[in-house]
Structure 1
Amino acid sequence: MARRKKKNTSPLPSQSAEQAALQRFAPLLDEQDYAALLQDLERPLSTAIRANPLKADPQADAARWAQQYGWRLDPVPFCPTGWWVSEAQTPPSQTIEHRMGAYYIQDAASMLPVELFDLRPDPEQLILDLAASPGGKTTHLISRAGDQGLVLANDASRERITALRLVLQNWGSLNQAVLRFQAEQYGRWFPETFDRVLLDAPCSMQGLRTSESHPSRPISDREVQQLARRQTRMLESALQALKTGGQVVYSTCTLTPEEDELVLDALLKEYPGGLRVEDTRARLPLPAPALRRVGEQLLDGQVSGAARIWPHRYHTAGFFAALITKTGPIGRREAQPPERPLEVFGLDALDADELDDLAARFNDEYGFNLHAMLQENRCELRQKGAAVFIVPELYTRHFASLPFQSLGMMLGEFSPDGFVPSHEWLARFYRFFAGGRVRLDSGQAQAWLRGEDASVQPGGVPVLAVIDEQGRYIGRGKYSDGKLKNLLPRRLVWMQA
Structure 2
Amino acid sequence: MVKYTELPSLYLEKMRELLDHSNYEEYISSFDMPKVQGLRVNNLKLSGREFEQLSPFSLEPVPWTENGYYYREEEKPARDPYYYAGLYYLQEPSAMTPAALLPVQPGDRVLDLCAAPGGKSTELAAKLKGEGLLFSNDISNSRAKALLKNLELFGAGPICVTSESPEKLAEYLPEFFDKILVDAPCSGEGMFRKDSGLIKDWLEHGPDYYAPIQKNIVSQAVKMLRPGGLLLYSTCTFAKQEDEKVIQWILENNPSMELMKLPDFHGFARGFEMEECIRLFPHKIKGEGHFLGLMRKKDLGDGEKIQGNIQENRRKQIKMPEEAEKFLKEIKSSDGKERLFSDQSRLYIKEDSLYFLPKDFPYHARLRYLRTGLLLGQIKKNRFEPSQALAMFLKKCNYPRTISFSREDERVIRYLKGETIILKDTEKLAEGWCLVCAEGFPLGWAKGNKGVLKNKYYPGWRWQ
**What is the TM-score with the length of structure 1 in the denominator?**
0.81
RMSD: 3.3
User: Are 1:465 and 2:435 matched, yes or no?
Assistant: yes
CA offsets 1:444-475 (integer angstroms, 9 cap, x no match): 3332233221123783342111234x334333
CA offsets 1:458-493 (integer angstroms, 9 cap, x no match): 83342111234x334333211358732111122332
- Between stretches 148-157 and 282-291, larger displacement belongs to 282-291
Which residue, out of 302, 305, 318, partners 2:289?
Answer: 318
Distance in 2, Cα, partners of 1:222 & 1:455: 55
Q: Which amino acid aligns with 1:372?
A: R
Q: Which amino acid aligns with 2:114?
A: A
Which residue, out of 194, 199, 206, partners 1:216?
Answer: 199
Distance in 1, Cα, partners of 2:432 & 2:382: 7
Aligned to 1:73: 59
Q: Which amino acid aligns with 2:52?
A: A
Per-residue deviation at 1:348?
6.3
Given the superposition, is the C-alpha separation of residues 320 and 409 from structure 1 closer, same or farther in structure 2, using an over 3 Å criterion?
A: same
Give the conservation status (yes or no) of the 8 Å contact 2:37–2:73: no
Distance in 2, Cα, partners of 1:384 & 1:218: 41
Which residue, out of 122, 125, 132, partners 2:115?
Answer: 132
Aligned to 2:392: 427
Aligned to 1:47: 37
Aligned to 1:493: 462
Distance in 1, Cα, partners of 2:154 & 2:119: 10
Give the conservation status (yes or no) of the 8 Å contact 2:333–2:340: no
Distance in 2, Cα, partners of 1:450 & 1:143: 28
Aligned to 1:160: 143
> What are the equivalent positions in structure 2 for 1:62-461 lying under 5 Å apart?
62-65=52-55, 69=56, 71-85=57-71, 87=72, 90-122=75-107, 125-211=108-194, 215-220=198-203, 223-271=206-254, 273-280=255-262, 282-292=263-273, 303-327=274-298, 349-351=317-319, 354=320, 358-363=324-329, 372-374=339-341, 380-396=346-362, 399=364, 402-415=367-380, 418-433=383-398, 435-440=400-405, 442-456=409-423, 459-461=429-431
What secondary structure, in the 3-state scheme, does the structure 1 residue paired with 2:356 have? Answer: strand
Q: Which amino acid aligns with 2:38?
A: A
Give the conservation status (yes or no) of the 8 Å contact 1:439–1:467: yes
Give the conservation status (yes or no) of the 8 Å contact 1:48–1:105: yes
Give the conservation status (yes or no) of the 8 Å contact 2:346–2:359: yes
Give the conservation status (yes or no) of the 8 Å contact 2:401–2:433: yes
**What is the TM-score with the length of structure 2 in the denominator?**
0.86
Per-residue deviation at 1:320?
0.7
Q: Which amino acid aligns with 2:277?
A: A
Per-residue deviation at 1:60?
0.9
Number of equivalences: 449
Given the superposition, is the C-alpha separation of residues 172 and 472 from structure 1 closer, same or farther in structure 2, using an over 3 Å criterion?
A: closer
Give the conservation status (yes or no) of the 8 Å contact 2:39–2:91: yes
What secondary structure, in the 3-state scheme, does the structure 2 residue paired with 1:128 have? Answer: strand
Aligned to 1:29: 19
Distance in 1, Cα, partners of 2:130 & 2:416: 28
Distance in 2, Cα, partners of 1:137 & 1:82: 12
Per-residue deviation at 1:23?
3.1
